[in-house]
Amino acid sequence: MIKAIKGTKDIFQPEIFNWNVLENLILETFLNYNYSEIRTPIFEETALFARSIGEATDIVGKEMYTFTDKGGTSLTLKPEMTASVMRAVLEHSLHKKQPLNKFFYISPMFRQERPQAGRLRQFHQFGAEAIGSNDPYLDAEMIMLPYIILASLGLTNFKIKINTLGSPKEREQYKLVLRNYLQPKLNDLSEESRKRFETNILRIFDSKDARDIEIMKDAPKIEDYISDADREHFEKVLAVLAVSQLDFEIDHTLVRGLDYYTHTTFEIVSDSVGAQSALCGGGRYNLLSSQLGGPEIPAVGFAAGMERILLAVKNENITLADKNFIDTYVVVTDKEMKNSAYSFTTYLRMEGIRTDMDFLGRSVKAQMREANRLNARYVLFIGEELSENKVILKNMETGEQTEFDLQEELEELIDEIILGDLSDEDIEDEDFPFDDPSLN
């Protein structure tokens, strides 16, 4: 039997219901904040990622799914979205049509990493990019957006870490300072970090090696080398977050490995998902546009891993989606009536009532079993009484059965299914906010 590729997953019920809830929440949240969706192709020219993310990063160096197509072009399945979004903005001159473009996306990504819990080879991210403004309020917004989504899901066990990398010029100076600090200690560093010393020195801060961590604890801090303007920018971001009552932690070691980052960087990490603890990462990337041959365009964004977020949801015992249920299961008690049953099923569906019926020629008993398996709230019996225009509706919770005359009581039947057991009185007793005098 052919199986799915290692590190990829089939997602179906009941798990998919959580995905549906998460995706609806993402859509609703971003539309609220006036971000519009962007969809870009699943593959791009390899040069796009190599040039933007950086040759010396793990993503470009080790993890990309790169192949040559029949025309001899080197293509890569997208490992992240930011480069693609910037490419699209520049290609369609969107920055000339309006100065600030705010996009969100939901998309699969591809990285050839060693699969483990929370780490896949095809995984899904949602994220946002605000392209065209250097406003620190937007840096803060990029932290607030994933925060709101995580909090709306009911997650609590996560932390926001934030840092600044300053501007490229000062960062280059800082790298020299870091070089001078590490040079005499080179032999004590792990092999990986010794490599990074040459290729991507800031990434030594990401090392999980205990000796590396010890050495980096006393390393010079980037914040001591950034300009006053950059410090002010960072302080404004922190102030906006504080006003929004978001808890965060400044982490000077948070460098994020990609070449295009400048200024603010951040990550949201969770204690609920094991070793791969980052739920979300992002930052400002004022360099990316010019790296891709465009003008200088300030931009900021984030990406969040959907598998990891849903793993956190599971591990924090949060129920997102109701168990699968349908409103009505139509049970055919007289096979001659199948046509009518199907018409009725269609009618109920068009009324917005989730409805299904049997397509396997099952006995009435087996149809009732299926209704139970689907957690049907109601069963509608279609049988010989239909010749007198009558149907029987069974409330599966109370067991109560009611006969309805289709000519005279069709509306009542629909109301009963939609409103369930709510009598008129119950409806009046419900808390309707508009009846609250304090709202006037």
**If binding is defined by CB under 6 A, does position 119 make contact with ligand AMP?**
yes
CB 220 within 8 A of CB 178: yes
CB of 347 to ligand AMP, least distance (A): 44
CA distance linking residue 140 with residue 46, whole number of Å: 32
Q: Tell me whether residue 161 or residue 308 sits nearer to ligand AMP (CB atom).
A: 308
Q: Report the residue from 29, 60, 80, 248 that binds ligand AMP according to the rule CB under 6 A.
A: 80
Question: Smallest Cα–Cα separation from 22: which of 309, 302, 354?
Answer: 309
Nearest approach, Cβ of residue 66 and ligand AMP (Å): 16
3-state secondary structure of 196: helix
54, 136, 146, 281: which one binds ligand AMP (CB under 6 A): 281
Of the candidate residues 129, 259, 307, 358, the single one contacting ligand AMP (CB under 6 A): 307
Please give the residues from 324 up to 343 whose contact with ligand AMP meets the rule CB under 6 A: none
Interface region with ligand AMP, contact rule CB under 6 A, candidates 92-100, 117-125, 348-356, 432-440: 117-125
Q: Is 279 in the site for ligand AMP (CB under 6 A)?
A: yes
Q: If binding is defined by CB under 6 A, does position 113 make contact with ligand AMP?
A: yes
Binding of residue 314 to ligand AMP (CB under 6 A): no
Tell me the closest approach of the beta carbon of residue 362 to ligand AMP, in angstroms. Answer: 42
* CA–CA dist 104, 301 (Å, integer): 9
Q: Is 26 in the site for ligand AMP (CB under 6 A)?
A: no
Q: How far is the CB of 308 from ligand AMP (least distance, A)?
A: 4
All residues at 6 or more sequence positions from 254 whose CB lies less than 8 Å from its CB, including other chains: 161, 162, 163, 205, 265, 266, 267
Neighbour tally for 93: CB within 10 Å: 9
Q: Residues 6 or more apart from 62 whose CB is under 8 A from it?
A: 112
Q: Is 116 exposed, middle or buried (0-12, 13-18, 19+ CB in 10 A)?
A: exposed
Per CB under 6 A, 308 contacts ligand AMP: yes
Q: Is 329 helix (H, G, I), strand (E, B) or coil?
A: strand
Beta bridge partners of 404: 391
Which residue's entry shows tokens 């390393």?
219
Please name the residues in contact with 154: beta carbons below 8 A apart, sequence gap of 6 or more. 313, 316, 318, 320
CB nearer to ligand AMP: give 281 or 383: 281
From 146, 166, 298, 305, residue interacting with ligand AMP (rule: CB under 6 A): 305
Report the residue from 27, 219, 278, 374 that binds ligand AMP according to the rule CB under 6 A: 278
Q: Please give the Cα distance from 177 to 115 (Å, whole number).
A: 36
Contacting residues toward ligand AMP, per CB under 6 A: 80, 111, 113, 118-120, 123, 125, 278-281, 303-305, 307-308
